[in-house]
Chains A and B, each alone.
Chain A
Amino acid sequence: MTLLLQQLLNGFSLGAIYALIALGYTMVYGTLQLINFAHGEVYMMGAFAALYLAKVSGVADNPTIPGAIVVMLGAMAFCAVLGMTIERVAYRPLRNSSRLNMLITAIGVSLLLQNLGLLMFGALQDFPSLLPEARWTVSGVMVRSNDLVIFGVTATLMVVLTWIVERTQLGRAMRAVSHSRDAAALMGIPADRIVVATFAIGSVLAGAAAVLVAMDKHTIRPDMGMTFGLKAFVAAVLGGIGSVPGAVAGGLLLGLAETLVSGYVSSTFRDAIAFLLLILILLYKPSGLFGKHVPEKV
């Protein structure tokens, strides 16, 4: 029972991170119908930006709560700029070309960032603690302060995101663009600017996730975004691509599935479970848990 509770806690902690990254995939897919493969690399770059920020600002030597907040906000801002640059340079020239071409470009951007990261940062680097760390044992279950930080930051960002999407002018425009870009443009919505905003918001969430993971794992690598990003994409599909609550549910579900499988079956199959889930959901409910089935129109 204790083991199960521990696994559930770990699963929710991992799932919260998946959810943050999945939101970036789902929002971009919602507006452009593009799997933004480079999203995982934005997340990776965010971790390295945070590392340099922490070193330069001295937070690495003297972990405090305001310092950690500054580093996280800095990484989020860096990711926003990176995400918008990628959209402007690589994706916008292809706005009207085939989806296959856009997909190939996305893979190209992802590889480019990953290999540039490898050349610039080397194979892996240590990441310092940004906060004083503590751990408590509550009736046999180990609770780490990092888990609480992950839950706190994720919940805050979710509330802010939901507010933006549901309550602001920008959110309304984003929903309109994802419904139909052409119709939205005809109604006077600057569709290109909304797409840029979508990339910025998704990248900000990836930056926050990057700092949370780096704080927790204490090592960062240039290839950390590849598999992790793909799994987050699977989480987005699981919940229903294009749906914000779906991405959260999918992320949590995937995190739980992974920790339970590696806890009770074998950690070898940990990485396989995401793709198994993807195939199952594609077979039995292609629109995902929260997605609406959209009939193909000619």
Chain B
Amino acid sequence: MRQGALAYGILALLLAAVWGIELFLVPWTDPYLTDIVIRVGINLLAVMGLALVLGFTGQFSLGHAGFMAVGAYAAAASTLYAGVPPVGGIVVGGLVAALAGFGVGLPTLRLSGDYLAVVTLGFNGIIIVLIQNSPALGGAQGLTGLPVATTFGLTFTCVVLGGLFIRNLLVSPLGRVFEAVRDNEIATRSLGIDTTRAKVLAFVVGAFWAGVSGALIAYYRSSIFPSQFQFDRSIEQVAMVVLGGTGSLSGPLIAATILSALPEVLRPVAQYRMVIYSIVLIAMMILRPTGLLGNHELSDVLKRLWQKRPGARSTAA
């Protein structure tokens, strides 16, 4: 009970901070900077879902941007055709993406993880083709005329909710099951745990937050295009998780923040972006396969640094 109260306290505090910044800081900030921060936030949502699927459950999904597309178009369609307000649209986007995740994951997750990579990659491609050929969804020209609702406050409210949701999921018994599936699936199954159910669940939760992320994109610039959700984007997210650390939540979020802001700083080398990502992926796998933070969280690293400082002996012991 007391722990529950503490959790709600943290949630309230974080949300108060987000809306405090929105109300008192954002109006006086350079719009360009706000734009970058919002786009970082949108990426954070997608990456935390993928960190759960790839980093903690060990399932290689290569179509995360496909679920973003599903979420974005579901949200946009619900607003344009049924008049759902943006906040409702975000929920719709998340739920429809989760449903798509269930549909893709259930048949493929029963088998070895390799097939998941191929099917999700194919799913990403097919979703784009379907949207491009669907007049109701605007085809290749995209959908326009959506209300603009994605602000700093709304984006980071979703980031806080998503981050706490996934963090709580990971420290729950179910989180242990996810990690057990990643470390040794056969051993986990021999303990009587339904590993398919665990994998599908992780996949659905990851798809949900990708859908929320896509919906935020839909309400950001009042228009969406299928080209925004292509395979490049899925790869970018995989690179963020791998770079940050498979088995860490804060690691991928740090990597996502850096890698989403980096292209703004490095405009001149923008055409080499995908080349750099691919070299980073290969080099990381060969030299430090666990990523920057490995399976540690930022808080662990800080704690260790704190204890290592000179004169810390007495408190550490």
Contact = CB atoms under 8 A, between A and B. Distances in A.
Are A and B co-members of a single complex?
yes
Interface string A47-84: 00000000000000000000000000000000000000
Contacts of B118: 35, 230, 233-234, 237, 275, 278
Given A94-B286, A116-B275, A283-B107, A100 B58 contact: yes
A109 B282 CA distance: 7
Contact of B285 (A105, A268, A296): A105
Given A272-B129, A278-B122, A103 B117 contact: yes
B278 A109 contact: yes
Contacts of B114: 35, 99, 103
Contacts of B110: 282
Nearest to B190: A298
Nearest to B242: A104
Interface string A84-115: 00000010011001111111110111111001
Contacts of B102: none
B231 to A, nearest CB: 8
30 contacts: A90-B286, A93-B286, A94-B285, A98-B289, A104-B238, A104-B285, A107-B117, A107-B235, A108-B278, A108-B285, A109-B278, A111-B274, A111-B278, A112-B278, A230-B118, A230-B121, A233-B118, A237-B115, A272-B122, A272-B130, A274-B122, A275-B118, A275-B122, A275-B126, A278-B115, A282-B107, A283-B107, A296-B186, A298-B187, A298-B190
A103 B111 CA distance: 16
Contacts of A296: 186
B108 interface: yes
Interface in B204-250: 231, 235, 238, 242, 246
B113 interface: yes
Nearest to B134: A268
A162 interface: no
Given A103-B117, A234-B118, A237-B118, 4 more contacts: A108-B280, A227-B125, A230-B122, A279-B107
A119 interface: yes
Given A104-B285, A111-B278, A271-B125, A119 B107 contact: no
Interface in B83-127: 107-108, 110-111, 113-115, 117-119, 121-123, 125-126
- 4 nearest A-B pairs in the assembled complex, by CB-CB distance: A108-B281, A275-B122, A111-B278, A112-B278
Interface of A: 35, 90, 93-94, 97-105, 107-112, 115-116, 119, 226-227, 230, 233-234, 237, 268, 271-272, 274-275, 278-279, 282-283, 286, 296, 298
Contact of B129 (A271, A274, A283): A271
B243 to A, nearest CB: 11
A155 to B, nearest CB: 28
Interface of B: 58, 60, 62, 107-108, 110-111, 113-115, 117-119, 121-123, 125-126, 129-130, 133, 186-187, 190, 231, 235, 238, 242, 246, 271-272, 274-275, 277-282, 285-286, 289
Contact of B279 (A112, A119, A268, A272): A112
Contact of A298 (B121, B186, B279, B285): B186
Contacts of A283: 107
A168 B274 CA distance: 42
B279 A103 contact: no
B281 A105 contact: yes
Contacts of B289: 94, 97-98, 101
Contacts of A116: 275
Contacts of A93: 286
B85 to A, nearest CB: 33
Contacts of A230: 118, 121-122
B113 A99 contact: yes
Nearest to B241: A104
A115 B133 CA distance: 27
A138 B305 CA distance: 79
A45 to B, nearest CB: 15
A279 B122 CA distance: 11
A111 B60 contact: no
A298 B190 CA distance: 10
Contacts of B271: 119
Contacts of B285: 94, 97, 101-102, 104-105, 108
Contacts of A112: 275, 278-279, 282
Nearest to A110: B278
A271 B126 contact: yes
A279 B111 CA distance: 11
Given A97-B289, A105-B286, A111 B113 contact: no
Contacts of A109: 278, 282
A108 B277 CA distance: 8
A107 B275 contact: no
A111 B108 contact: no
B202 to A, nearest CB: 14
A185 B313 CA distance: 51
A47 B108 CA distance: 33
A283 to B, nearest CB: 5
A275 B278 contact: no
B281 A104 contact: yes
Nearest to A270: B129
Nearest to B274: A115
Contacts of A119: 271-272, 275
